[in-house]
Structure 1
Amino acid sequence: MTKDAAYICPECGVRSPASALTWCCPRCRGPWDLDFRAGAVPLGALAGRVNSLWRYEEALPLSSPRASLGEGRTPLVPLADTVSAKLDFLMPTLSFKDRGAVMLAELARRLAPRRVIADSSGNAGTAVAAYGARAGLDCTVYVPEATSPKKLEQIRAHGARLEVVPGDREATARAARAAADEPGTFYASHVYNPYFLHGTKTYVYELWEDLGGRLPDTLFLPVGNGTLLLGAALAIAELEAHGLIAGRPRLVAVQAEAVAPLARAFEADALDVTPAAASGGAAATLAEGIAIPHPPRARQILRAVRDSGGEFRTVTEDRIRDAQRDLARRGLYVEPTGVACWAAALAEPPAGTAVVPLCGAGAKTGMAQ
C-alpha cells in the first residue's frame, strides 16, 4: 500500500503504522513525523518523466497515484535582479496546498475510511475537497466563520460538506480534532499528518531541478502552521544527505505582524511558542492563511529556521497591500497571504539569490482593501 514508512512522534518516540487512522500521538497528542527514508532523485533522468510532482518518485512515500490532478511543476519567473517567484498559485485548486493534499487524498483512498475530515482557513480545505472528490472520498471541511466566501463556494463545488465554526482558526481546529477521534475517520490534516509535508517538499525538488541541481542562497517562506517551510527543510536535508547540493539555503520565515507568535518566540530565543508570544489570539490580518497563534509544530519550525542560519521577518498590513498591488502591476494576481514573502523581500532585499513563493491566487479573495 505504501513504501516502508511509519508514524513516529518527534517528542515521545511513540510509533504507529502508516496504515492506521490514529491522527496524533496517543501519549502527547502532538503531530506525527514520518519514519521514511527518501531515495536519491536522479537529476539526469527526470526529463522523460511525468510532468507533475510525482516525477520525484524516489523521494515520495507513496507511488502510482490515482488521485493526481497534475499538480506541481509550477513556473519560476524573475521578479528582480536576484529574486525569482515560484508561481504555486497556478495549481489545480489555485494554491500550493495541492502539493500536500494529493498525498493525503491518495493515502486516504488506499485506507478506505468511512469519512475524511479537514480543517482550514480556506486553501487547505479547498485542496482536500478537490482531491477528495478526485479520490471518491466522503469529505467534510471545517472552516472559521470569517473564511472568504469564494473559498467556501469552491469547497461546496467539489461536493464536500462544510462545517462553519463560530470563532477563529483555533476554534475550528479544536472542532475538527474532536471529530477526528470518531471511529472510521481519516483526519486529512495538513498540520498533523506528515504525508502533507512530503508533498510540500516537492516545492524545493522543483527548484533544485529548475536551477540545474542547485538551490538559491535564500528561501523566503510564509509561516502560519509552517507546512511549506517544514517541507522545504525536509527536502533540503534529503538533497544534502544524498550529496545532491553543495550547501543549504537560509530559510527566511515570514509572518504577518498582527499574528507573529513564531517571530516573537524566535526573537526571544525560545524553543517553543510561549504564552506571551501567542498572546492576542488571531488578530485581524489580511494574511488569513498564516494567522495561527498556536502552531502545533512550532518547535520544529523554530529549529528548522535556526539550523539554516535563517531568520523571521514580519510584514505590516500596509506592506501586504502594497506588495499585492505591486505584483498585480507585474501581471501576477495573488491573494494577500500569498504576497507576504514578496512584501518582506521588498522591505529588505536579500543578499545573493532568493526565491519567494506566490502561494494562492487573488481570485480566491480579491484585492485587499
Structure 2
Amino acid sequence: MLAPMAAYVCPRCRVNSPADALTWCCPRCRGPWDLDFTSAPVSLTSLASRVNSLWRYKEALPLATESPRVSLGEGRTPLVALTEDVSAKLDFLMPTLSFKDRGAVMLAELARRLAPRRVLADSSGNAGTAIAAYCARAGLDSEVYVPQATSAKKLEQIRAHGARLTLVPGDREATARAAREAADEPGVFYASHVYNPHFLHGTKTYVYELWEDLGGRLPDTLVVPVGNGTLLLGAALAIEELHGHGLIDTRPPLIAVQAAAVAPLARAFEAGAEDLLEPEPARPTLAEGIAIPNPPRAAQILHAVRATGGTFLTVTEDQLHTAQLDLARRGLFVESTGAACWAAVRATPPRPGLTVLPLCGAGAKTGVGAGVGRG
C-alpha cells in the first residue's frame, strides 16, 4: 500500500503545490519547498523486527510503504567512539560512500512513482553520485549536471551507475543555474537535494538512528557540517518530531561547522541576522563540500540553529588537513569535508556530555587534502 503524497508549501510565500506536479520550486519567489507532512511517533520497541534500512522509521517518513520499492540498505551506520565524550557516526559507510544516500533514496522513490520523462540532478560530487545510484536501483534513467572541473573519480562513479553527464563550463553556481533552467522543461523531475524537501526527510533519519542506538535518547550535543544545510535541517526536523511526540525530553543544541574560507552562514549568525549578509568572494578550501556562498535555505538554517540553542564554528585549512590525517590515524579515512566537524571539536571542546558528529564521505573518493565537490 502506498502512502499518500504530502503537498509542497513555500515557507516564505505559503504557496502550495501537489507533490506530483513536478513543480520544483515556489512559482512566486523561486525558493525551495517545504513539505506539508505530519509524522507519527515511532515505537522504539517495534524496531528490532523491522527492515534494516532507514525505511524502518516508516511512521516518520513520507512515501513509506510496508515494503519499500527503492532501497540499497542505506542507513543504520555505526556509532564509534573517538574519545570518552565524542563519538562519530560513520555515514561514509553508505552504499555510495556518503550521507547523501539518505536523501537520494527518497527522491528516487518519489521519481519512481511519478514516472517523469526525465530525471535531472546537479552536483559536483556526492549528491550526484547518490542520485545516479538510486535512480539505477529504481530503474530510472538520470542525467547529472556537473562542473567541467569535477574530479575524474567523481565522474567515473556517476557514469558507472549509468547516468548521463552534462559538463557545464564554470563553477558550481553556473552548474546549478543550467540545471534549474533545464528543470523548467515539461516532464522533468528535478531531483534536487536542496530544493526538494523529501531529501531533508531522508537525512532526518540520521537523528532517528541515534535515538534508537542510544535507547530512546539523543546525544547532549550534535555537531554537523553546513553548506546547503541538508543534514542540519534534517536533524532539526527529527529533533522537533521526537520532542513533539514526547519521545525526548530536551532538544540538543545543533553546532554548525563551516570552513573559515567560505562561511556566509557563520557570519550572518554572528551578526544576529535572519538571512545572509552581503556576499563575500569565496576563497578556495579543502572543505569544498560545504563551500556554498549562497545557500537557498539560509534563513531556515539560521533559525534551526538558534531554536536549539546552538551556534556556528569555523575551521581553518590547517585544522581541516590535520583533522583528516588524525582521523586516518584512528582508522577512519574520510574526505576533507568530512573532517570538518572533528576539526571544530578538536579546536573548541563541546560542553559536558556525549557529543556526536558525522563522518559524511569516504576518503577514497578524493584522497588526502583533495576536498570534494559541493554536493
TM-score using structure 2 length = 0.96
Q: Do 1:324 and 1:334's aligned partners in 2 also have CA atoms closer than 8 Å?
A: yes
Secondary structure of 2:17's counterpart equals strand
- For structure 1, which segment, 262-271 or 226-235, has the greater mean C-alpha deviation from structure 2 after superposition? 262-271
Deviation at residue 4 of structure 1 after TM alignment: 5.0
Q: Do 1:114 and 1:138's aligned partners in 2 also have CA atoms closer than 8 Å?
A: no
Aligned pair partner of 1:106 in 105, 109, 117: 109
Secondary structure of 2:49's counterpart equals coil
Secondary structure of 2:48's counterpart equals coil
Q: Aligned partner of 2:141: which letter?
A: D
Spell out, residue by residue over 1:263-285, the C-alpha distance to the aligned partner (whole angstroms, 9 max, x if none): 0111111111122xx3103x211
Deviation at residue 247 of structure 1 after TM alignment: 0.3
- Write the distance in 1 (CA, Å) between the matches of 2:119 and 2:190: 6
Q: Do 2:132 and 2:144's aligned partners in 1 also have CA atoms closer than 8 Å?
A: yes
Q: Do 1:121 and 1:288's aligned partners in 2 also have CA atoms closer than 8 Å?
A: no
Counterparts in 2 of 1:148-187, with a 5 A limit? 148-187=151-190
Q: Aligned partner of 2:74: which letter?
A: E
Partner of 2:198 in structure 1? 195
Deviation at residue 148 of structure 1 after TM alignment: 2.3
Partner of 2:121 in structure 1? 118
- Write the distance in 1 (CA, Å) between the matches of 2:329 and 2:7: 47
Deviation at residue 242 of structure 1 after TM alignment: 0.2
Q: Do the aligned partners of residues 160 and 143 (structure 1) sit closer, same or farther apart at CA in structure 2, a change above 3 Å counting?
A: same
Partner of 1:264 in structure 2? 267
- Write the distance in 1 (CA, Å) between the matches of 2:175 and 2:81: 37
Counterparts in 2 of 1:34-53, with a 5 A limit? 34-53=35-54
The Cα RMSD (Å) is 0.9
Q: Aligned partner of 2:323: which letter?
A: A
Are 2:29 and 1:28 equivalent residues in the alignment? yes
Q: Aligned partner of 2:78: which letter?
A: P
Q: Aligned partner of 2:13: which letter?
A: C
Deviation at residue 158 of structure 1 after TM alignment: 0.4
Partner of 2:59 in structure 1? 58
Partner of 1:129 in structure 2? 132
Q: Do 2:276 and 2:298's aligned partners in 1 also have CA atoms closer than 8 Å?
A: yes
Percent identity for Structure 1 against Structure 2: 77
Spell out, residue by residue over 1:226-248, the C-alpha distance to the aligned partner (whole angstroms, 9 max, x if none): 00000000000000000000100
Secondary structure of 1:89's counterpart equals helix
Secondary structure of 2:303's counterpart equals helix
- Write the distance in 1 (CA, Å) between the matches of 2:319 and 2:220: 24
What stretches of structure 2 of length at least 5 have no aligned partner? Answer: 371-375
Spell out, residue by residue over 1:59-118, the C-alpha distance to the aligned partner (whole angstroms, 9 max, x if none): 000123212000000000100110000000000000000000000000000000011111
Counterparts in 2 of 1:242-261, with a 5 A limit? 242-261=245-264
Q: Do 2:79 and 2:89's aligned partners in 1 also have CA atoms closer than 8 Å?
A: yes
Counterparts in 2 of 1:258-297, with a 5 A limit? 258-275=261-278, 278-281=279-282, 283-297=283-297
Partner of 2:313 in structure 1? 313
Spell out, residue by residue over 1:285-337, the C-alpha distance to the aligned partner (whole angstroms, 9 max, x if none): 11111110000000000000011110001111111100000000000010001
| Poorly superposed stretches of 4+, deviation over 4 Å | none
Deviation at residue 145 of structure 1 after TM alignment: 2.6
Q: Aligned partner of 1:120: which letter?
A: S
- Write the distance in 1 (CA, Å) between the matches of 2:44 and 2:176: 39
Deviation at residue 224 of structure 1 after TM alignment: 0.4
- For structure 1, which segment, 160-169 or 172-181, has the greater mean C-alpha deviation from structure 2 after superposition? 160-169
Q: Aligned partner of 1:14: which letter?
A: V
Deviation at residue 151 of structure 1 after TM alignment: 1.1
What stretches of structure 1 of length at least 5 have no aligned partner? Answer: none
Secondary structure of 2:325's counterpart equals helix
Spell out, residue by residue over 1:14-37, the C-alpha distance to the aligned partner (whole angstroms, 9 max, x if none): 001111100000011000000000
- Write the distance in 1 (CA, Å) between the matches of 2:179 and 2:59: 33
Report the count of equivalent residues: 366
